Structure 1
Amino acid sequence: MVGGERIDGVWCHIWRRTDFSGEYYVNDLVLYADGTVVCDGATDLPGLKRLLDVGRLALTPPDAPVKVDERSKWESPWGEPRTPESFLLEVADRVEELNGRPAAARRCWDAAGRYAREPSEANRELLRAAYLAVPQHLRLFVLGDMDRLDRPLRILLTDVGAHVDGDGPLVTPEMHESELEYFRRQAEAIATAEQRRAALHADDPVTAARPTVTSHQTVYPRGRPAEPGLFVLRNDFPAPIAYDGETYASVLHGYWALSAADTADRARIREAPSGRDAQEVGSGVVRRDGWTGLRLAVMAGLLRAKFTQHPELGAVLLGTEDARISYTGFSDSPFWLDARDDRGRNWVGRLLELVRSELALTQEPQRA
């Protein structure tokens, strides 16, 4: 998370050399969409190249035996070995993917489709450049065809009258036409699938959503600011709520009071000085029967009451428009929070988005 914005990333294993013994051990290499690489500290792509060049990082342990494939290149089902150069190309490619831009494999497919539609020599050279831009160790599987591998591309890029890869079949005009037809069929299948997907997802927005809004748990030792801003989204924000025949000073007061089995405990929680005090008191009382199955509906009801009974707070919630709301913190259960591990369910954030949609619906002009 950077400035409240989530930066997506991917990871892989890599060998790292120790400072003391010089031996190598397996470590995690993490790559983020902004190009940051984290392994031996934080660096970028040029920094990763330097670490590979000096042997600080390695793709395989230096003493690993080299596997030799004695079959011809045409017959081999194995890709080219991964080298530091091809690995750096793969890393740069993943940055493109993380940012939603077409990576080398997609560009290769696009070039193949263009050549199949218009088989000119200029388009063939564009296809060759796109194919060679795919990291060498990934080219064999660039088409995602486990039967034919990348052979359709290698045939098209070999001149008529020459052997593919030097030891493969002799290319004929008929072979070229057969592979062009292969890509035409693939293009038709992709177009059909995209049309079906567009029909199934016809209600999806046509523009990108706003960046995620993150609601952080904040402590104000000198008092809350005069303009609370997004703090109004927090469950401990003081806003009297009439719900289920009682009035609660905040969502937390209502939630923990309604969780209690005993009437006296409910009154003590309701009268707590602050939302967090209500949580402290409520966490130590006996829970009402079936609370686990009821708590989501209660939280939804309390949030709905808060933002409908206080239009000025509802306006702040509506101001987040269609952004995903990430509700974070350190005092609540991961069930409610957008936590980093798999336990984080972000239910408060999801319910806030639901209430926001309901508020928007009530403000929509009535249809005639």
Structure 2
Amino acid sequence: MTWHGPTFRISDGETINGVWRLVWRRHEFDGEHYPDHLFVYADGRITVGGHEPTDLAGLRERLAAGKVAPERPDAREWPVGEPTKWESRNPEALTQEGFLLEVADEIDRLAGRPGAGDRLWDAVRDHRREPTEAHRARLRDAYLAVPAHLRVYVLGDMDHQDRPLRMLLTDLGQPVDGDGPVATEEGHRWALAYFDDAVDGEARHERWLALRYADEPAGASGPPVVLHETFHPGGPPAEPGPFVLRNDHEAPFVHAGVSYPSVTHAYWALSAADPADHDRIRAAATAHEAHEAGGPAARRADWPAVRLAVMAALLRAKFGQHPRLAEVLLATGDAGILYTGLSDAPFWRDEGPRGGRNWMGRLLELVRSELRAAAPPQTPAARTAETALRAATSTGSQTGENGGA
């Protein structure tokens, strides 16, 4: 069976990442086994379907009692007369102990800890640098820590499978796996040469990636700026905050020779097929009313194909004609911008774990980049002022109050 994901659960407001796979659960009434989902999470929590959560120890007990099985109990076994283990391309049988090791490995991976495969390759590199018996013993332990049914895959090479490891870890003069070729110095040299080539190839691949991805931003960006949908009963504050980046903030601008009170007015007016609807929406008293008027209006036939380009043009006009608003946008630095709320379709907004495509946030990041490219180089004093404004903007963006526009 294959692990699927990602999945997650929410615990005390925190997102816990997980994966899932099919297992066979024994029904308590008829004793038959039925497929069900085994969920495994980064904090070690394990559940079978919607049943009571457990952990590795609890899963071990359920496996031993026959309540859960990693494979269908009446599954077909490998036929008799297989080639020797050295020659076979088939993995070893999946056992309860091997399955528990696999689940533990998934928990480590989800939690960001090295898995059995990572520890194995670390031991390979150590033995390659210094091929001593102590390092070979450590390599043997790392190999045996890999679930037996996954060992043929651990090197990621289905031509050689794990044969280089098995040859290297067999003492000289002993048959590999008991029925394979006798381990010789030449066989050990072949295995070492294999790992030399693999590690060198890994280094070459890293250099290739560094060249290919030379423009990848270095380091982590700042925390995301969240643009909450806000409501200001007494009118917007005098000092511009992150709310000015939203489309419903009234900042009149001209687009294609026509003046619009806000991006919301312009977007819905330009979406209308009837010129009379365009003018009626543009003349709406507020952005909220423009949205209410534009929603039921007949849409231009080409609107789905052009709406992203239209929205980008409107944002360029807004921030290009309002330098103070452009400063607020630039103050967000390189942070991701999450455009939230309830008034806009999920296509435009971020919905956290529920999805949302966040196209508004992405277009704001695009316009921010264009403003940055067009601006003259910053002086140290300007950078200091931007840092202070960005801090204020980030703080304000996190405290916005959800509500209607």
Name the TM tier (shorter chain): 0.7 to 0.9
- Cα deviation, residue 339, structure 1: 6.3
Superposed CA RMSD: 3.7
Q: Which amino acid aligns with 2:205?
A: A
Give CA-to-partner distance per residue, 1:275-326, whole Å, 9 cap, x none. 4443332122222352223211111122334445556655554454434344
Which of 274, 289, 292 does residue 304 from structure 2 map onto? Answer: 292
How far apart are residue 200 of structure 1 and its match?
1.5
8 A contact 1:117–1:184 mirrored in 2: no
Q: CA deviation at 1:112?
A: 1.4
The equivalent residue for 1:40 is 50
Deviation at 1:185, TM superposition (A): 1.2
2:225 is equivalent to residue 240 of structure 1: no
Greater CA drift, 286-295 or 2-11: 2-11
2:183 is aligned with 1:171:
yes
1:185 aligns with 2:194: no
Name which of 256, 263, 269 aligns with 1:257: 269
User: Unaligned 5+ residue runs, structure 2?
Assistant: 1-7, 380-405
Name the structure, 1 or 2, with higher relative contact order (CA <8 Å, separation 6+).
2
| Pair 231,153 (structure 1): closer, same or farther in 2 beyond 3 Å | farther
Moved more, 46-55 or 137-146: 46-55
Task: Provide the identity percentage.
Answer: 52
Deviations 1:119-164 (A, max 9, x none): 1111111211221222222111101111110010011111001111
Give the 3 Å change call, closer, same or farther, for CA 204–101 of structure 1 in structure 2: farther
Cα drift, residue 28 of structure 1: 3.2
Secondary structure class of the residue paired with 2:35: strand
2:176 alignment partner AA: V
Query: Which amino acid counterpart does residue 34 of structure 2 have in structure 1?
Result: Y
| Bigger shift: residues 338-347 or 97-106 | 338-347
User: For residues 243 and 29 of structure 2, what CA distance do their matches in structure 1 show?
Assistant: 49
Q: 1:212 to 1:92 in 2, by over 3 A?
A: farther
Decide whether aligned partners of structure 1 residues 37 and 274 sit closer, same or farther in structure 2, where only a CA change above 3 A counts: farther
Counterpart residue type for residue 40 of structure 1? G
- 1:5–1:211 Cα contact (<8 Å) kept: no
* 1:280 match: 292
1:196-345 to 2 correspondence within 5 Å?
Answer: 196-210=208-222, 218=229, 233-236=245-248, 238-244=249-255, 245-272=257-284, 274-309=286-321, 314=326, 317-327=329-339, 331-338=343-350, 345=357
Amino acid at match of 2:121: W
**In structure 1, what is the Cα distance between the partners aligned to 2:63 and 2:50?**
11
Alignment of 1:70-219 (within 5 A): 70-71=81-82, 72-98=84-110, 100-210=112-222, 218=229
Count residues in correspondence.
365
Q: Which of the residues 12, 33, 37 maps onto 1:28?
A: 37
- What is the CA-CA distance between 1:210 and the residue it aligns to? 3.8
Q: Distance in 2 between matches of 1:168 and 1:106?
A: 27
The SS at the match of 1:287 is: coil
Instruction: For residue 79 of structure 1, give the secondary structure of its aligned residue in structure 2.
Output: coil
1:5 and 1:357 map into 2 onto residues whose CA distance is: 32
Change (3 A) 1:206 1:58: same
2:291 maps to a residue whose letter is Q
Q: Which amino acid aligns with 2:88?
A: S
Change (3 A) 1:153 1:99: same
Compared CA separation, residues 213 and 272, structure 1 to 2 (3 A): same
TM-score by length of 1: 0.81
Gaps of 5+ in 1: none
2:230–2:243 Cα contact (<8 Å) kept: no
Q: Amino acid of the residue matched to residue 253 of structure 2?
A: A
* Distance apart, 1:118 and its partner CA: 1.8
* 3-state SS in 2 of match to 1:202: coil
Change (3 A) 1:16 1:113: same
1:288 match: secondary structure: coil
3-state SS of 1:28 partner: strand
